[in-house]
Structure 1
Amino acid sequence: MSKYIIDKRLLFKKGEQARLLLDLKQNFNLTWKGMAESVGLSEYTIRVGWYGERTTIPYSCLYELIKRYPLYKWDYITNNLITEILPPKWGQVKGGEASKETLRTANEKYIKLPDKNNIKFAEFVGIQLGDGHLSQTGIEITLEHPAEDDYKNYISELLFDLFDRKPIIRFKQSKKSVVSIIINSKRLVKFLNDTGLMTGNKVTNGAQIPEFILANPTLLKWCIRGLVDTDGGVFHKQKGYSRCIIEFTSNSKPLLLTFTKAIAILGFKSSKSGSPASNKAVRIQGQKDVNKYFDEIGFSNKKNITRLLYFKNLGYVPKREELDKYL
């Protein structure tokens, strides 16, 4: 976690703060993480806050960086790159305590909107359609805890890569223990609405795979991965069979229909589970298609990866209580 530093702040000429940090990084073969650790801060602070010129740099931090990596003389920096040395807590001195509305408005700037044709964004769409909820103010993805803690970490990194925002992690205890991954941003909500994701209840609103993903087989594979990793998985077919199946479940009929359509587009044969009236699942059962799924789509959720390895090495899919020992 980043520490809060009460110190004088350095206000650079536009673009010079980013250029200086990049020069240090390249000339000394540093990573953002390595640079951050050298002054006891987080990678996010250096890479997003400072390099992105969203925040000013504390005097003592830059002085320590230049002392460690003397690419430029201190006098050169202060005389040529910096326009002003601001007092500690200068934001509060200038404008008083920021109101909640001011903080909310400022917070909206701290979100990156990715290219919707990014394969990782397609995986996020699948995750969001599966275990996610899109409200008027942000996104929330809820997973089992502690069984899916590895997947929680994976999704957190995915969101950071896509949106340049560290999500809030919130643990909850009701009938079962769960963990929620949250990003609040109305700007992000609008962007997701524009790509085809709807706010509110996914079942009553008829959530489904967006058309732009259905039209692109590469994106479709990653979206399917996200869907199966959240609302599906690898399961043993039934007693007496040394086979496994891929199954996806949902209470949203439009989502089941577009999932079935997606599987067909990608060349898989699928079948429904249960009676037509109560059907809430789509299965890939043929072992040729199951193996094709393993090879061409795969998983990011450790519980499905573990089930797959079990099946490939031992010929069966472990029961839940056995699986929990490895998660």
Structure 2
Amino acid sequence: MAERIYQKRVIFPENAQGEFLIQQINKLKISWPNLAEKIGIHERTLNDWRREEYSMPLDHLEKICKLSNSKLPNNITIKDPFSHLKDAGIRGGLASLKKYGRVGGDPEYQKKRWHEWWESNSKSIIKSHPIFQRHLIRKPTRSKLLAEFFGIMLGDGSISSASKNQLRITLNHQDDKEYISFVLATLEKLFRKKASIIKHKNSLASDICLSSTNAVEFLLRLGLKSGNKVKQQVDIPNWIKSNVEFQKACVRGLMDTDGCIFYECHNIKGKKYCYPRLTFVTASVPLRNSVFSILTDLKLDPKIENTRHVSIENKEKIAEYFKVIGSSNPKHLKRYKN
């Protein structure tokens, strides 16, 4: 039925449409109900066409002509569906212009009425409509997993200072492909809410995004900062510093995001010597000092280099780091083992 509404229409000269249908009935020697049945319409519709209350669709005219072995009449005009609306719109616009001096009513009056409606209805709309409601989350207890997530956020994470309703963690979608899965699983385990991934168009970076005002407010209360981490000189929260296991977990998150393991090589008398280096990099002085202090307390002999780097350069101490603290980033584990 929907297809017929949008068919092209046939316009006959006045009184010609009814005469045409009568001629076809006489030629076919059938009744009006029989003709209606053969072309797939209701008898009442055919009678409306005969009385010329409505124009005929082109496809039904073609069916009638096929039944009677006739050609399409020469005196018809074929029009696209809704072709009459343009003329109707022009006539309506001219009538509005003549009556009100404008088309579309008084914009100031419309604006006033809209503001009046919004003032009286907005509170109930915001209160009742699901789009304005905060989604409930699980508020995790302080744990090693939460401490590690704080390390991830202090490393490659951020919270917008403008909206404060979304957190994001930016990682390399090639090198950190497996680690991205770990971070997604961590977010869902902590907050019972799934995050989304947005790939950057012109780089290898991907953003893991979690949109939740409740989650962001929870993290801010526990010590994370919104906005630029370098300008604010962020640091590890005290609730993590006061627990050794939380310290290890947080450093693991920091090293897995803003740290790297590499081999420093030298050629001495034609022989190549390579030494492993484990380095954490940050432009935040308090954060650098906290990581240095935690690694020192764990007797891993860290060094501060170039004011931004905290490094472990002893092979045995690096092995001890992976034994005591470990890594959740397969990229680091593979580089260490190789």
Is the pair's TM-score, using the shorter chain for normalization, greater than 0.5? yes
Q: 2:155 aligns with which of 115, 130, 152?
A: 130
Is 1:227–2:227 an aligned residue pair? no
**Aligned counterpart, 1:299:** 327
Contact 1:233/1:247 (<8 A) preserved = yes
TM-score when normalising by structure 1: 0.60
Task: Summarize deviations over 1:100-135 as a string: whole Å, max 9, x none.
Answer: 9933543431x111002x111111000000000012
Q: How many residues align?
A: 206
Identity %: 31
- Structure 1: stretches of 5+ with no match in the other structure: 1-97, 311-327
Structure 1 SS opposite 2:188:
helix
User: Is the contact between residue 126 and residue 132 of structure 2 (CA under 8 Å) also seen in structure 1?
Assistant: no
> How do 1:25-44 residues align onto structure 2 when only pairs under 5 Å count?
none
- Structure with higher Rg: it is 2
1:166 aligns with 2:204: no
Correspondence for 1:272: 304
Q: Compute the RMSD of aligned alpha carbons.
A: 1.8
CA distance in 1, matches of 2:264, 2:257: 19
Match of 1:243 in 2: 275
Does residue 167 of structure 2 align to residue 139 of structure 1? yes
Question: Is this contact kept in 2: 1:207–1:255, CA < 8 A?
Answer: yes
Query: Which residue matches 1:281?
Result: 309
Among residues 97, 105, 112, which one is paired with 2:138 in the alignment? 112
Q: Is the 8 A contact 2:138 2:191 kept in 1?
A: yes
Kept after mapping to 2: 8 A contact 1:273/1:282: yes
Runs (4 or more) in structure 1 with deviation over 6 Å come to 98-101
Deviations 1:264-315 (A, max 9, x none): 22222111223xxxx21110112221111011111111210110110xxxxx
Rounded Cα–Cα distance in structure 2 between residues aligned with 1:298 and 1:223: 11
Are 1:218 and 2:250 counterparts?
no
- The answer as to whether partners of 1:217 and 1:266 remain within 8 angstroms in 2 is no
Q: Does the C-alpha gap of structure 1 residues 250 and 100 become closer, same or farther in structure 2, counting only changes over 3 Å?
A: farther
Alignment TM-score, normalising by the size of structure 2: 0.58
In 2 relative to 1, CA 104–206 (structure 1 residues): closer, same or farther, beyond 3 Å?
A: farther
AA at the equivalent of 1:270 = P
Contact 1:249 1:282 in 2 (8 A): yes
In the aligned structure 2, how far is the partner of 1:100 from the partner of 1:238?
64
Gaps in structure 2 of 5+ consecutive residues: 1-124, 267-271
Specify the alignment match of 1:318 in structure 2: none
